[in-house]
Amino acid sequence: MRVAIAQIAPVLLNRDATIARVVERIQEAGRAGARLIAFGESLVPAYPLWLCRVDGARFEADDLKQLHAAYLDQGVSIEAGHLEPVCVAAREADCVVVLGVAERAADRGGHTLYCSCVTIQRGGAIVSVHRKLMPTYEERLAWGMGDGNGLVTHEVGPFTLGSLNCWENWMPLARAALQAQGCNLHVAIWPGCQRLTRDITRFVAQESRSYVLSASGLIRPEDVPADVPLRARMCGDEEVFYDGGSCIARPDGSWQVEPVVGREGLITTDLDIEQVYAARQSFDPSGHYARPDVLQLHLNRARQRGLRTDPGDAWTES
């Protein structure tokens, strides 16, 4: 099965312009015959790189509030249909899409963002939205904590797909939850840096005896529009903030595609399910090498909401 990684940059804090870039790459992947395409973490409308560049922990700072308000305004609402162009592109390209977004969650009041990994099936329907379980370090200043609702797998051709956001790929139980559901094509999405992807991509492949796709983004000063608050402080003198590092490891941990650094583009390759079968002859983490009589994992898939109502007569205006 042919798969693709779109290592691209967002138009920082511009949801529609970034979605247009995503759609272009899906169309390109479809023409290349890919049945799956993955994008970086929180690509739409951007990873919040400013948090570590403009003293993001300053409390009650007006300039940071302005920047957060812009981020919230450009967040992705599933319910509002913001991803409809992506769904249409997936359907027309006959391609599964794994996309990182900053989700503005209606079921949590609509004013908190979650780092979410959205999976869209080949027919164009959104089949899961996985909210990052634990934002990493300064990310907690921008994103809320997710839940287990999106820890699900999906059939993609001969493979079973599971996806995680950035550092939650380091969480053993999150990986185990996907492995127990048959995951053999693990997609890890990242903001973009080979320091993040080089070691863990091969490690997870060896641990799970699965293909692992690490999809990263890029962000450079030219990707930050002139009207973004605190742009001058955010950009400084650097030429690049996040430089990619997208890569693919085989089920034995060897490289299929070594980390690609410093360039945008579509990365395509063909995966062979027989390599998964061969690698699992000696080790299958949730199969013949598991001991559920000794060790078991409990997964709570409930979507965590701030309000649950009991049945009853709703108030109506007389």
The pLDDT tens digits of the residues spanning 71-125 come to 999 999 999 999 999 999 999 999 999 999 999 999 999 999 999 999 999 999 9
Task: Please give the residue range of the domain that contains residue 254.
Answer: 2-279
What's the whole-number average pLDDT of the chain?
A: 95
For residue 312, what pLDDT is reported? Answer: 66
Q: For 51, list phi and psi in degrees, rounded to 5.
A: -60, -35
For residue 163, what pLDDT is reported? Answer: 98
Percent of the chain with pLDDT over 70: 98
Gap between the Cα atoms of 159 and 183, Å rounded: 8
Residue 200 lies in a domain: yes
163 pairs with which residues across the strands?
187
Q: Compute and round to an integer the Cα radius of gyration of the chain.
A: 20
For residue 237, what pLDDT is reported? Answer: 79
Residue 156 lies in a domain: yes
Q: Given strand 36-38, what is the order of strands in its sheet?
A: 126-131, 113-120, 96-104, 36-38, 2-7, 265-270
Residue 286 lies in a domain: no
Residue 301 lies in a domain: no
- Whether the full predicted model's pTM is greater than 0.85, yes or no, is yes
310 pairs with which residues across the strands?
none
Residue 134 lies in a domain: yes
Residue 304 lies in a domain: no
Picking from 162, 120, 164, the residue whose alpha carbon sits closest to that of residue 146 is 164
Is pLDDT above 90 for 157? yes
For residue 318, what pLDDT is reported? Answer: 44
> What's the average model confidence in pLDDT over 238-261?
95
Is pLDDT above 80 for 55? yes
Tracing tokens 């051709």 back to the chain, one arrives at: 157
pLDDT band at residue 314 under the 50/70/90 scheme: low
pLDDT band at residue 238 under the 50/70/90 scheme: confident
How many domains are contained in the chain? 1
For residue 313, what pLDDT is reported? Answer: 61
How would you class 134 by CB atoms within 10 Å of its CB: exposed for 0-12, middle for 13-18, buried for 19 or more? middle
The Cα angle at residue 204 between residues 243 and 273, in degrees rounded to 5: 105
CATH code of residue 89: 3.60.110.10
Note the pLDDT tens digit of each residue in 33-52.
999 999 999 999 999 999 98
Checking DSSP bridges between strand 36-38 and strand 2-7, what pairing results, if any? parallel
Residue 296 lies in a domain: no
Helix (H, G, I), strand (E, B) or coil at 184: coil
Residue 87 lies in a domain: yes
**Cα torsion through 121, 124, 125, 128, rounded to 10:** 40
